[in-house]
Structure 1
Amino acid sequence: MDARARRSQEKLRSAVISLATDTPISEITASAICREAGVTRDTFYRHANSPVDLLADALSAEIDEVMTVLPRAEAIGDGERALLEHVQRRAAVYRGAMHPLLAAPVRGNLEQSIRGGLELWARLHPHIVPAVFMADEAAMRMAIAYAAAGTVGAIEEWLRDGDEDIERAVEVILAASPEWWLR
Structure 2
Amino acid sequence: MNPDDPRARRTRAGLRTALLSLLADTPPERITVSAVAREAGINRATVYQHYADIDALVADAMEGALAHAARCAALCPLEAPTDGAPAPLVDLFAHVIEHGSLYRTLLAGDFAHRLRASVARELEERFATGARPPGTDGVPDRALSSHLAGGLVALLTSRVGQEGPGPGAEESAAVAWRLLAPVRHR
Equivalence for 1:60: 66
Residues 132 and 115 of structure 1: CA distance in aligned 2, closer, same or farther (over 3 Å): same
Among 11, 23, 47, which residue is 2:14 paired with? 11
Question: Does 2:147 align with 1:146?
Answer: yes
C-alpha displacement of 1:132: 0.9
Gaps of 5+ in 1: 134-138
The one-letter amino acid of 2:4's match is D
Among 96, 110, 127, which residue is 1:87 paired with? 96
C-alpha displacement of 1:159: 1.0
C-alpha displacement of 1:91: 0.8
Q: Is the 8 A contact 2:120 2:146 kept in 1?
A: yes
Count the aligned residue pairs.
173
Equivalence for 2:50: 43
How much is the aligned-residue C-alpha RMSD, in angstroms?
Answer: 3.5
Equivalence for 2:173: 170
Worse overlay, 109-118 or 157-166: 109-118
Worse overlay, 14-23 or 76-85: 76-85
Worse overlay, 156-165 or 52-61: 52-61
Q: Is the 8 A contact 1:110 1:152 kept in 2?
A: yes
Question: Does 2:48 align with 1:22?
Answer: no
Question: Does 2:136 align with 1:130?
Answer: yes
Identical columns (%): 22
Gaps of 5+ in 2: none
Counterparts of 1:129 and 1:2, CA distance in 2 = 46
Q: Deviations over 1:136-183 (max 9, x none)?
A: xxx2112111211121112111111142422332233233325258xx
The one-letter amino acid of 1:29's match is T
- 1:15 aligned counterpart, secondary structure: helix
Counterparts of 1:178 and 1:65, CA distance in 2 = 18
Counterparts of 1:30 and 1:116, CA distance in 2 = 33
Q: Whose Rg is larger?
A: 2
Counterparts of 1:43 and 1:97, CA distance in 2 = 23
Equivalence for 2:105: 96
Worse overlay, 7-16 or 24-33: 24-33
TM-score, normalising length: structure 1: 0.71
Residues 176 and 65 of structure 1: CA distance in aligned 2, closer, same or farther (over 3 Å): closer
Counterparts of 1:5 and 1:180, CA distance in 2 = 48
